[in-house]
C-alpha cells in the first residue's frame, strides 16, 4: 500500500498528478493508455525509468500525466521501479497512483498465440516461459499497486470503461469503490478486497417465472428481499462496509473492490450488488458495478452475432 500521507495532508494541491500504468505484456496496457489519453491525460509510453524524475523538475502542470511502463522499457527493473514509486510517493509535489493490469497466464499465452507475436522476455522460447518469467518479475510491483484491473474476461470496450470509471471523474485523492457479482462455479474474482457469499439466500432460479431474469429485475430483487434472513444480513452488511470505507480512505487507499457470489452469478449476487451500489451512491461514495457472468453471457452473444466483440489481447 502506498503512503501518500505527506501529499494528502498538505493544504497545497500537488503540482503533478501522475499515474503509472504497468502489468504483464498482453494484459491491455496499450488499451488503458489510449483510454487515459481520451480522458485528457498527457500520455508518455515506455519512457526510460531514469528519465521519469525529470518530469517533476519543471513547472507544475494542470494536465494529469499517465506513464506506460513495462519490461520493454530500456532500463526496466522491478527494484528500480519500486524505488521510483517510493521516491515519487515521498515527493509532496506529486499525487501518485499505480495502475496494474493483471490477467491469468493461460489467457496471456492465448493472446500471444492469436497475434503470433514473440514475448519480450522469451524471444527464442515459448510464450509460456516468457509469461511465467514476467509475472514473477512484476509480483512486487503488483503488490504496490493502488488500482488493479483484471482483464482476463474483459473486452477492449470493457477495459476502457473500467479505466474511465477510476480516472474519468476528477483526479484528486478519493476512494473509488467497485462492486461486482460472480458465480462460484467460475471461481472468486482476482484482486477483490471483500467477498460475501449470498448462497444462503433463497434462490430465484427455482421460481419458473424468475429463472430467465437476473438480479437487476425488480421481481428478482423483491424475491431476494423477502427471504427472512435478508433484512438482518443487509443491515449488517451496510454497517460493515460503511465502517470500513472511511478507514481505507484514511489509510491512503484509492480503490476498494467488493464482490458478491452465488451459484450462477445471475440472481442473488447480482441483486445484492445492485442494492449495495445504490446505497453507497446515495451516501456519496464514487461507486461502479460489474456483473461478471452477465457480461460474459453478453460477450458470448456478441460473438455469436458478429465480430465486434474483440478481446483486449487482439490489439
pLDDT band at 180 (very low <50, low <70, confident <90, very high): very high
Specify the residue for cell string 473509488: 176
At 124 the pLDDT is 62
List the one residue out of 88, 84, 89, 41 whose CA is nearest residue 62: 41
Q: How far apart are CA 289 and CA 180, in angstroms?
A: 5
Res 219 pLDDT > 90: yes
Over residues 21-32, the pLDDT tens digits come to: 998 888 888 899
At 300 the pLDDT is 40
Q: Provide CATH 3.40.50.300 ranges for the chain.
A: 5-173
Res 311 pLDDT > 70: no
Beta carbons of 257 and 180 less than 8 angstroms apart: yes
pLDDT band at 307 (very low <50, low <70, confident <90, very high): very low
Res 49 pLDDT > 90: no
Q: Which three cell numbers stand for residue 283?
A: 451516501
At 145 the pLDDT is 87
| Mean pLDDT computed over every residue of the chain | 82
What DSSP assignment string belongs to 171-239? -SS--EEEEEEEEGGG-PPTT-SEEEE-TTS--GGGSTTTTTS-TTSHHHHHHHHTSTTHHHHHHHHHH
At 171 the pLDDT is 44
Q: How far apart are CA 29 and CA 187, in angstroms?
A: 24
Q: How far apart are CA 292 and CA 290, in angstroms?
A: 6
Res 17 pLDDT > 50: yes
pLDDT band at 173 (very low <50, low <70, confident <90, very high): very low
If one compares 315 and 104, the residue with the highest pLDDT of the two is 104
Widest Cα–Cα separation across the chain:
66
pLDDT band at 9 (very low <50, low <70, confident <90, very high): very low
At 306 the pLDDT is 43
The kind and range of the H/E element at 36 are helix 29-38
Beta carbons of 261 and 272 less than 8 angstroms apart: no
Q: Where are the beta strands (DSSP E) in the chain?
A: 16-22, 42-45, 65-68, 94-102, 147-150, 176-183, 194-197, 255-262, 286-291
If one compares 65 and 131, the residue with the highest pLDDT of the two is 65
CATH of the domain spanning 5-173, picked from 3.40.1410.10, 3.40.50.300, 3.30.300.30, 3.30.830.10: 3.40.50.300
Beta carbons of 37 and 107 less than 8 angstroms apart: no
If one compares 144 and 297, the residue with the highest pLDDT of the two is 144
At 6 the pLDDT is 38
At 206 the pLDDT is 95
Res 147 pLDDT > 60: yes
If one compares 76 and 132, the residue with the highest pLDDT of the two is 132
pLDDT band at 13 (very low <50, low <70, confident <90, very high): low
CA atoms within 13 A on the CB side of 102: 19
Per-residue pLDDT, averaged over 195-219, amounts to: 96
Q: How far apart are CA 215 and CA 274, in angstroms?
A: 8
At 84 the pLDDT is 87
pLDDT band at 313 (very low <50, low <70, confident <90, very high): very low
Q: What is the pTM of this model?
A: 0.53
By mean pLDDT, which of 58-67, 121-130, 237-246, 264-273 is the weakest? 121-130
Q: How far apart are CA 230 and CA 234, in angstroms?
A: 6
Per-residue pLDDT, averaged over 247-264, amounts to: 86
The helix, strand and coil proportions of the chain, stated in percent and rounded to the nearest 5, come to 45, 20, 35
Amino acid at each position: 500500500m502506498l503512503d501518500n500521507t505527506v501529499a494528502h495532508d498538505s493544504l497545497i494541491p500537488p503540482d503533478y498528478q501522475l499515474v503509472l500504468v504497468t502489468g504483464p505484456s498482453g494484459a491491455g496496457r496499450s488499451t488503458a493508455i489510449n483510454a487515459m489519453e481520451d480522458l485528457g491525460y498527457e500520455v508518455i509510453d515506455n519512457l526510460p525509468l531514469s528519465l521519469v524524475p525529470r518530469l517533476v523538475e519543471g513547472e507544475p502542470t494542470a494536465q494529469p500525466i499517465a506513464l506506460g511502463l513495462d519490461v520493454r522499457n530500456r532500463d526496466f527493473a522491478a527494484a528500480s521501479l519500486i524505488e521510483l514509486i517510493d521516491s515519487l510517493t515521498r515527493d509532496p509535489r506529486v499525487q501518485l497512483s499505480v495502475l496494474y493490469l493483471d490477467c491469468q497466464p493461460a489467457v496471456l499465452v492465448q493472446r500471444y498465440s492469436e497475434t503470433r507475436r514473440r514475448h519480450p522476455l522469451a524471444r527464442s522460447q515459448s510464450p509460456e516461459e516468457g509469461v511465467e518469467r514476467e509475472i514473477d518479475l512484476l509480483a512486487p510491483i503488483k503488490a504496490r499497486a493502488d488500482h488493479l484491473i483484471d482483464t482476463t474476461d474483459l473486452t477492449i470496450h470493457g477495459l476502457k470503461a473500467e479505466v474511465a470509471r477510476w480516472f474519468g471523474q476528477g483526479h484528486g485523492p478519493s476512494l473509488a469503490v467497485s462492486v461486482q457479482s460472480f458465480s462460484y462455479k467460475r471461481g472468486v474474482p482476482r484482486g477483490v478486497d471483500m467477498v460475501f457469499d449470498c448462497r444462503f439466500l433463497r434462490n430465484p432460479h427455482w421460481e419458473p417465472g424468475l429463472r430467465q431474469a437476473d438480479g437487476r429485475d425488480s421481481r428478482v430483487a423483491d424475491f431476494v428481499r423477502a427471504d427472512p434472513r435478508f433484512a438482518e444480513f443487509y443491515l449488517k452488511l451496510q454497517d460493515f462496509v460503511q465502517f470500513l470505507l472511511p478507514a481505507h480512505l484514511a489509510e491512503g487507499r484509492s480503490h476498494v473492490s467488493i464482490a458478491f457470489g452465488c451459484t450462477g452469478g445471475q440472481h442473488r449476487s447480482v441483486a445484492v450488488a445492485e442494492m449495495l451500489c445504490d446505497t453507497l451512491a446515495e451516501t456519496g461514495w464514487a461507486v461502479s458495478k460489474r456483473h461478471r457472468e452477465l457480461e460474459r453471457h453478453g460477450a458470448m452473444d456478441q460473438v455469436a452475432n458478429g465480430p465486434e466483440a474483440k478481446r483486449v489481447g487482439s490489439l
